[in-house]
Structure 1
Amino acid sequence: MKLLLALLAVVVVAAVVIALLRRRRAVVPSAPVAPRDPFAAEDSTAGDPRLLKAGDMVEFLGERMFVRGSLRLTEGGYTWSEHFLDTMEGTDAGRRWLSVEEDPTVEVYLWAEYQGEEELTPSRTPLTVHGVTYHRSEHGTASYRSEGTTGLGESGRVEYADYDGPTGRALAFERFLGDQGRGTWEASLGERVPEGTLTIYPGSGA
């Protein structure tokens, strides 16, 4: 009889311990889900333009272009990138490149070299080009680091002036600074790339 009572006591104690452990596990709060930006670039099925590099391919409005090289630019604590493109079509559109900056949202612009009879310099504002009026928004000097094929050295400095136009249009000037002084201004016309219209195909080294 004593043995039976002892066994019952053990069973009761074990059941109480198991119940307490289950209750303990049930009340342990789960880790809260961190708030997330629903429009973050990493959620895009088209890829993250902030990760572009030489060897990648991009497609915009049915046109495919290879990234030949990149400039990583820094001014103070602010950074952005310019990616030089090869259209693979042998067109006469001149130089093309893609700029990517985060301020605070990711902004992507596709640029083409200005081709016109009038010589452009950022000496005044506003500027009217091909019937479109642009107003200067930024001017400064940045340091750059070159990757891949850009036609520039590994590092250097560049002066820039940016102009904003209507409906996502832009005008930009750059001149590279070297031992021989300031280079000549290079003008480019750009258009903002709407979110979801650019597809990125990572290169083989991804």
Structure 2
Amino acid sequence: MTTMTVIVLGLVTVVVLLCAVLGAVAASRRSRARQPVRTPPAAPGESPARDLASDPDYFDPRTIKVGDTVYVEAARYRAVGAVHCAVQGEQWTDYLLDEGARRYDNWLTVAERPGPGGEPSHLEVLLWTDVPTQGMVPAKHMLIVDGVEFSPIERGTAAFRSEGRTGLPERGLLDFADYRAGDGRLLSFQRVQGGQWEAAYARPLTPGSVRAERLP
């Protein structure tokens, strides 16, 4: 075997090993990218989903239907529409609430969040109020809204199905970008694909602070 042949074989071996290493690194990055965002455990104001469903003393907000009269703390609303969303195995419902003055700027989110490490799932209930962002686009880094710094926590695209009065198509895709401030305040941007971004603040509620009356 000549010296030139040995050199060529050595170079081929180095290239093969380098390709194998790069392939392993790329596969590792892809697998990490597929891992879902870890959901935090239930906060003191949140209730385990299974306990709430079996407790007759509490109304289960997951059972709200379009047309129901909904009481949120001391306020009375009517659920005029609902948007059912799903992304990566998680599901939630946004209810459009009418306070009687035909001002449709209050949304109630009811979501069942999986617990980490096999812990029981918990209910998350949020009341949203619109934020005038004047054409602001959600960036992938920190945002300042009303003088408050918000850091990004999650963004993606959800499939949705609407019912009742929502102003949205019957089915479609919804882009969202969620942020959290240092004091725990939540800010979310969303848009129907092809539409304009809209923003809202979220206020967490205890599931027990929501109840509903069915239509006769």
Structure 1 length-normalised TM: 0.70
Give the counterpart letter for 1:108 in structure 2: V
* 1:31-71 residue CA offsets vs partner (Å, 9 max, x unmatched): xxxxx978424426341111112111221231111100001
Q: CA deviation at 1:168?
A: 5.0
The answer to whether the 8 Å contact 1:69/1:83 transfers is yes
RMSD: 2.3
Relative to structure 1, the CA distance from residue 44 to residue 184 in structure 2 (aligned partners, 3 Å threshold; closer, same or farther) is farther
1:76 to 79, 88, 91: 88
Q: Which sits farther off after the overlay, 131-140 or 66-75?
A: 131-140
Gap change, CA 1:146 and 1:195, over 3 Å in 2: closer
1:135 aligns with: 151
Alignment-derived partner of residue 175 in structure 2 = 159
Alignment of 1:7-156 (within 5 A): 39-43=51-55, 45-89=57-101, 95-104=105-114, 105-115=122-132, 118-156=134-172
**Alignment-mate amino acid for residue 107 of structure 1:** E
Which structure 2 segments of 5+ residues have no match?
1-47, 115-121
Equivalent residues of 2:52, 2:60 under 8 A apart: no
Q: Is the 8 A contact 1:41 1:106 kept in 2?
A: no
1:145, distance to aligned residue in structure 2 (A): 0.6
In 1, Cα distance between the equivalents of 2:54 and 2:181?
28
CA gap of 1:81–1:58, structure 2 versus 1, over 3 A, is: same
Amino acid at match of 2:185: R
Scaled by the length of structure 2, the TM-score of the pair is 0.67
Counterpart Cα distance in 2 of 1:103 and 1:73:
13
Structure having the higher Rg:
1
More helix by share: 2
Tell me, in whole angstroms, the C-alpha distance in 2 between the residues paired with 1:189 and 1:37: 24
Distance 1:97 1:151, change over 3 A: same
Query: Are the aligned partners of 1:83 and 1:98 in contact in 2 as well (CA < 8 Å)?
Result: yes
Whether 2:198 is the aligned partner of 1:186: answer: yes
**Structure 2 CA distance for aligned equivalents of residues 54 and 37 of structure 1:** 21
What is residue 202 of structure 1 aligned with on the other side?
214
Q: Distance in 2 between matches of 1:133 and 1:85?
A: 29
Rounded Cα–Cα distance in structure 1 between residues aligned with 2:53 and 2:183: 22
